[in-house]
Structure 1
């Protein structure tokens, strides 16, 4: 349920209500809105004494949260959230662009990518150091050495680092080097991992599983929010269908549909969503027109020689042209593309 505090409520009133909520065995999550404070009481709502919250000091009204995802719901927070991590800002009119290779391969490769994507207007560098692969014989990533290369690229360019974490045991290590923890599609319902990143101070980019419904997607985000980490971005990266002309089917209707139901920003991945370099620019422009809050795109100095996903990666010239075209779309819908936050 939602406890809406009066505009005149003091901090003492808010603290008292938090104590009252927790005294009933519920978890209190405080959301500071632009005009008033809201307390989400999460847990079993049929506990004895819950009606007493309505008469608490400074309380305006107590409302039920109807959506199964409580903390992610717009019922709790009508205003859209913005996630900021280092140079990256996503949400509320700012379209964050994360770009870089699928996998970190060498220091020279990742530095070249960082310089190029920054020059073209990206606001974050993406790159995989830990790579969960379908085949055990595929390249699995450079692990901590790759993380160090990403950190070195951040030191030179100032770009925030977005990289995947694949195990709860690695969350602290990856958090040490990165600004955004990516949860890949294979791990969207790895609940122990979601709980672990929920305790991390780093922002999280949660990718939709290829067979996940929207409710399952938002409930996965709920695990992270429930852990105390409110800096969550959703990512539509395509779903598995009967079609074979693309790697996945990229449903851009997800963008406005999700935005009606959650305050969390949503990012689109046209690289994984299509699996074809030639389609990435068109789908990036379409995503912006649909209202996406961000893009995550694969870029490599020499896609033909990439150790993973080269067939869907752009080279530097292609990415620069994509950004030029996307910037026109963003301007047409009164939004800003890829602006870096000063850090």
Structure 2
């Protein structure tokens, strides 16, 4: 109702710690399908390994390749050989050239439908933000590629209080889409609660972004994925 067009949900969750919540696996894909049927939202979900490709492609409208798999070249070739669009997240220490060459692996295998997602890179200062969101990548990519650009201010900052400012800055800088994490009770979220907005704050942010978008002539063009 607020204007999101996609639901990003992770059935398989790559986590730094092997003891952290890893997702519900294949059974969660049925939940995503039920959500699509109930809401009409497109489904984005992450593929972690080749054996799950067929089942993930069956349920997903867009297949996500996460930051940790950005240079898993055999996986990139396999998603390139199927027809579903691919959302390619930038690796935590990847240069823009690394990222674009990863996209080329997908396209060279036959799939031209790649979306580039900036989700923050690892830098020396992690005291105040989880990652460093590289908004300069937006104008740089505009000069280097025709591919659409998504910005993930939730992973990019790691803190919900910073997400609105970075989301609005992304629209102003020319992003084509945004991925924003939302949870009805962030303190009880099994994953990424500190960076999740409440539904009420998400509603307000969509209105705030519309002001920025209209000012720069880009609203309601950018798509928003609710994560």
TM range (shorter): over 0.9
Q: What is residue 77 of structure 2 aligned with on the other side? A: 195
Higher Cα radius of gyration: 1
Gaps of 5+ in 2: none
Distance 1:172 1:143 in 2: 14
Task: Extract structure 1 runs of 4+ deviating beyond 4 A.
Answer: none
Partners of 1:164 and 1:183 within 8 A in 2? yes
Alignment of 1:54-203 (within 5 A): 119-203=1-85
> Which secondary structure does the structure 1 equivalent of 2:18 belong to?
coil
Q: C-alpha offsets along residues 223-281 of structure 1, whole Å, 9 cap, x if unaligned?
A: 00011111100011111111121000011000000111000011100000000000000
Partners of 1:236 and 1:268 within 8 A in 2? yes
Deviation at 1:319, TM superposition (A): 0.4
Partners of 1:211 and 1:239 within 8 A in 2? yes
Structure number having the greater helix percentage: 2
Q: What is residue 322 of structure 1 aligned with on the other side? A: 205
Q: What is residue 251 of structure 1 aligned with on the other side? A: 134
Equivalenced residues, count: 222
From 296, 299, 307, give the equivalent of 2:190.
307
2:164 paired with 1:281: yes
Q: What is residue 230 of structure 1 aligned with on the other side? A: 112
Partners of 2:86 and 2:114 within 8 A in 1? yes
**TM-score, normalised relative to structure 1:** 0.64
RMSD, matched Cα: 1.1
**TM-score, normalised relative to structure 2:** 0.96
Distance 2:100 2:153 in 1: 20
Q: C-alpha offsets along residues 103-130 of structure 1, whole Å, 9 cap, x if unaligned?
A: xxxxxxxxxxxxxxxx110010111100
Partners of 2:177 and 2:223 within 8 A in 1? no
Distance 2:193 2:89 in 1: 20
Distance 1:339 1:308 in 2: 24
From 145, 149, 154, give the equivalent of 1:271.
154
> Which secondary structure does the structure 2 equivalent of 1:267 belong to?
strand
